[in-house]
Amino acid sequence: MKTYVKVILFFVFFVAVSAILAALYLYNLKHTDMSKARPDFVVTATGLLKEFEDNEALASAKYINRIVEVEGIIGSINTSGDNILTISLKTENDLSSVICTFPAVADPSTFRAGDRLTLRGECSGFLMDVLLNNCAAVNAK
Amino acid sequence: MTKSGYIGFFSHTSMEDIKADNNQVAGVLDTSTGETVLQALIRSFHFDKALMEEHFNENYMESEKFPKAAFKGKITNFSSVNLSKNGTYDVTVEGELTIRDVTKKVSVKGTIEVATGSITAISKFPVVPEDYNITILGVVRDKIEESRSIGCDEISASLKQNKLIFIILAV
């Protein structure tokens, strides 16, 4: 075989392998680890809720799919069917809160209602409450 | 009522099983009439694989344009459920399911489990993507079952104010 054919074959092989590796990497990409991620916004639970209540469209455009670091007092702690931990942070509005859902690995025993908590999560939007997903505590006490 | 109801969706295919969970469903069941309302954010569906979640939001559900899914309906045989007696009751729910601003009438069977201090409602909804204008490329289409069954879970209820917490359903 001529040298240039070998070079081309090698090149094609190299590109194919890189493409497969890149595809596998993307396919298996994990969610961002919130305990290490840098937050896009740092807010209080009351402040975050107020922005959504004042102008949901504006707040949605600002926060959805961004990493938000929220500080507040733990209102309730729930674990549902598949051991999914959900913590609500109290706000000045008694009816609404900031609801934070954790990945399955989170340990509920480290949290107590009434404690002050700062956590990071991805904002999903607003129903009756502001919803955060994939949360991790920043300074659980 | 509940603010942490559950909707899961599951699709089995020859290549892989696709599964997502949403634990942030808001639901209300009026225990005097059997009427129920459920709301969920599309963005709250959580996949194991980050890329799959991104495609779900951006290519298929277009969650920026259509952030919410909702169900509004009524348990038609609610009178057969005795809320003061613990047990599991079979029910039929009829109502309207809205996904991507498309509203379809649905009628599904489910169960209501009454335990002391709580009521849990569970139901499954088959959903055909094309019904809600979800376009899926041919290659990918084969990966997705015609109807994605949605498993619904529970709600823990506080019977205050005559409203129950409802855990719910999904796509």
Per DSSP, A108 falls in state: G
Q: Does some domain include residue B170? A: no
- State both tokens at B12: 């089995």
Interface of chain A against chain B, CB under 8 Å?
26-32, 60, 64-65, 78, 80-82, 84, 86, 88, 99, 101, 124-125, 127-129, 131, 133-134
Give the gap in angstroms from C-alpha B32 to the nearest C-alpha of chain A.
22
The residue length of chain A stands at 141
Confirm or reject contact between B71 and chain A (CB < 8 A).
no
Per DSSP, A29 falls in state: P
Residue range A57-76: mean pLDDT, rounded: 88
Q: Does some domain include residue B159? A: yes
Quick check: A73 pLDDT over 50?
yes
Quick check: B169 pLDDT over 70?
no
Torsion of CA A82, A85, A90, A95, to 10 degrees: 0
Chain A residues in contact with B44 by the CB 8 A cut-off are 101, 124-125, 131, 133
Residue for token pair 């991790």: A136
Quick check: B155 pLDDT over 70?
no
Residue range B137-166: mean pLDDT, rounded: 38
CA torsion through residues B123, B127, B133, B134, sign:
positive
Q: What is the pTM of this model?
A: 0.72
Give contacts of B 82-141 with A, CB under 8 A.
Answer: none
Query: How many structural domains is chain B composed of?
Result: 1
Closest partner residue to A30 (CB to CB) among B44, B50, B154 is B50
- State both tokens at A84: 């999914």
CATH number of this structure's domain A41-137: 2.40.50.140
Closest partner residue to B44 (CB to CB) among A29, A81, A124 is A124
B85 neighbors B113 (Cβ within 8 angstroms): no
CA B170, chain centre distance (Å): 2
- State both tokens at B146: 């015609």
CA A43, chain centre distance (Å): 15
ipTM score of complex? 0.72
φ and ψ at residue A11, rounded to 5 degrees: -65, -45
Confirm or reject contact between B6 and chain A (CB < 8 A).
yes
Burial tier of B160 (Cβ tally within 10 Å: 0-12, 13-18, 19+): exposed
The domain ranges of chain A are 1-30, 41-137
Q: Does some domain include residue B171? A: no
CA dist., res. A126 & res. A131, Å (int)? 6
The string of pLDDT tens digits covering residues A9-51 is: 999 999 999 988 888 888 877 787 777 888 888 999 888 888 8
Closest partner residue to B49 (CB to CB) among A29, A64, A128 is A29
- State both tokens at B147: 């109807």
The string of pLDDT tens digits covering residues A77-99 is: 887 666 778 888 888 887 888 98
Residue B81: CATH number of its domain = 2.40.128.110
Strand partners, B36: B29, B73
Q: Does some domain include residue B113? A: yes
pLDDT at residue B168, rounded to an integer: 34
Q: Does some domain include residue B20? A: yes
Q: Does some domain include residue B47? A: yes
Question: Which of B38, B102, B45, B24 has the alpha carbon at shortest distance from B73?
Answer: B38
Q: Do B44 and A101 touch (CB under 8 A)?
A: yes
Residue B10, domain extent: 2-165
CA dist., res. A141 & res. A115, Å (int)? 7
Each as own residue / partner, the long-range contacts of residues B100-103 (CB below 8 Å, 24 or more positions apart, any chain) are: B100/B61, B100/B62, B100/B65, B100/B66, B100/B132, B100/B133, B100/B134, B101/B66, B102/B131, B102/B132, B102/B133
CA angle B76, B26, A51 (to 5 degrees): 145
